[in-house]
Amino acid sequence: MKKMLKGLGAALCVALPFLAQVPARAASAAANPAVDQTLVQRGAYLAQLGDCAACHTAPKGKPFAGGLPMSTPMGRIYVTNITPDAQTGIGGYTEADFARALREGVAKDGHNLYPAMPYPSYAKVNDDDVKALYAFFMHGVAPVQQANRESDIKWPLNMRWPLMLWNMAFLDKGAYRDKPGKDAAWNRGAYLVQGLGHCGSCHTPRGVAFQEVALDESGSGFLSGALLDDWFASNLTGEHNAGLGRWSDEDVRTFLKTGANRHASAFGAMTSVINNSTQAMSDQDVAAISAYLKSLPPAGGNAAQPYTYDPQATKVSLDRPANDAGARVYTAYCMHCHGVDGRGFAPMLAPLAGNPNVLAKNASSLINVTLNGTGDIVINGVPSPFPMPGFAAVLDDQQIADVLSFVRAGWNNGAPAVGVAEVAKLRQSTQAGR
């Protein structure tokens, strides 16, 4: 549940040059003939699958040295140093210590980790992969002496013992076991999505104790979308409008490898996931994830009719924008990228007509990306040429509410209007988090 708590999504918005660094770090282990180089290399790949760099590397910080701040409802915490430094990192951890921290959320000295570290998902990682990850972090990562920082959470909320009770209630121990009746690709996809990929940490709704309401496909809320750090993590089920119901297998694979397809583009936390994790996945693993996600039944929809494209009413409004406040803003600031037809220029510029994020019940992502833009998607070292700019300094709350209401209604999207109060609240929240 590394992204369970408010503020964790911001941690993942940091794009890191991790992909280029892994071979050099793993190669440094070659100087030690006692180290199993194949195991280290495999561990490096698994660390990318787990997107470990995104949380454990602070902006402008050294890889995996920690220090990244994360805001939670109780106060700010700081991510720990997981380099093999003996004094300040995990250099003194045995493989058993490492496995316990990874899968049970308990540090070497016995204190409980905050479930901002997604150990409820990592509990499903099998022993062989734990061994490879341990080899990478011990022999493929450069040690960095950087002391961990205490959280800003005040007593008594900073006491860790209640986390033992939380684990008793919500932590399912035991590595993933293949489901009978499912093929190898489906089971591999389920293992990655539920385990190292920890997709549910963002995309599954939370209960009253901040626990994921479901950890696999047996729960109806699994991957049905969730609000996180002022973004709404998208629905990944087969729901027709806001989910992946209209996405082909190729659409899913393209999105994971490039961050964009004919339906949508990555933003917010997902930008970092694309940059640091999914683009580095093997084609087989990407195909397995797609196979698993495409098997999920619809969940979390708003009972709307299946989306069908219809540009007529919107075209009339754009022909006479003076009669519509939202159309006026759209023609001035949005139309040159997203088009009169709302179809954009995918995958370079995202479509708005039928975009699952536009059709979602919760408009937080639309408000956030309009206010603040999004970071660059960087594929093979090349940044995306047309990142979404932020308009917080250009448009006031009423204008943003108007244009997003226009977009949500346009091209037969049929989604609810956006209120001025929603925009004002999110503007204040995102500014305070900077």
Q: What is the Cα–Cα distance from 302 to 169, expressed in whole angstroms?
A: 30
What ranges do the domains of the chain cover? Answer: 8-147, 184-294, 312-432
- Over residues 218-232, the mean pLDDT reads 93
Confidence label for 70 from pLDDT (cuts 50, 70 and 90) = confident
Instruction: Please tell me which residue, 203 or 303, carries the higher pLDDT value.
Output: 203
Hey, which CATH number is domain 312-432, 1.10.760.10, 1.20.58.1690, 3.40.50.620, 2.60.120.620?
A: 1.10.760.10
Contact 337, 330 (CB under 8 A): no
Q: What is the Cα–Cα distance from 358 to 73, expressed in whole angstroms?
A: 28
**Per-residue pLDDT tens digits for 43-60:** 999 999 999 988 898 888
Confidence label for 160 from pLDDT (cuts 50, 70 and 90) = confident
- Over residues 240-246, the mean pLDDT reads 97
Instruction: List, in sequence order, every residue forming a beta bridge with 38; answer none if it has no partner.
Output: none
Strand segments (E) across 38-143: 69-72, 75-78
Residue 428: CB atoms within 10 A of its CB come to: 11
- Over residues 348-357, the mean pLDDT reads 96
Q: What is the Cα–Cα distance from 11 to 202, expressed in whole angstroms?
A: 12
- Torsion, Cα 182 183 188 194, to 10 degrees, reads -10
Architecture of domain 184-294: Orthogonal Bundle (1.10)
Q: Are 184-294 and 312-432 the same fold in CATH?
A: yes
- Over residues 243-251, the mean pLDDT reads 98
- Torsion, Cα 373 365 424 333, to 10 degrees, reads 50
In the CATH hierarchy, which fold is given to the domain comprising 8-147? Cytochrome Bc1 Complex; Chain D, domain 2 (1.10.760)
**Per-residue pLDDT tens digits for 298-337:** 999 877 899 999 999 999 999 999 989 999 999 999 999 9
Confidence label for 33 from pLDDT (cuts 50, 70 and 90) = low
- The b-or-e profile of 191-221 (16+ CB within 10 A means b, else e) is bbbbbbbbbbbbbbbbeeebbbebbbbebeb
Share of the chain above pLDDT 90, in %: 77
Residue 249: CB atoms within 10 A of its CB come to: 13
Query: Which pLDDT does position 434 carry in this prediction?
Result: 65
Query: In the block, which residue shows the tokens 């940044």?
Result: 383
CA dist list (Å): 198 to 190, 292, 304, 378:
10, 14, 29, 22
Contact 387, 284 (CB under 8 A): no
Least confident of 49-58, 63-72, 248-257, 423-432: 63-72
- Torsion, Cα 83 88 94 98, to 10 degrees, reads -60
Query: Which pLDDT does position 149 carry in this prediction?
Result: 84
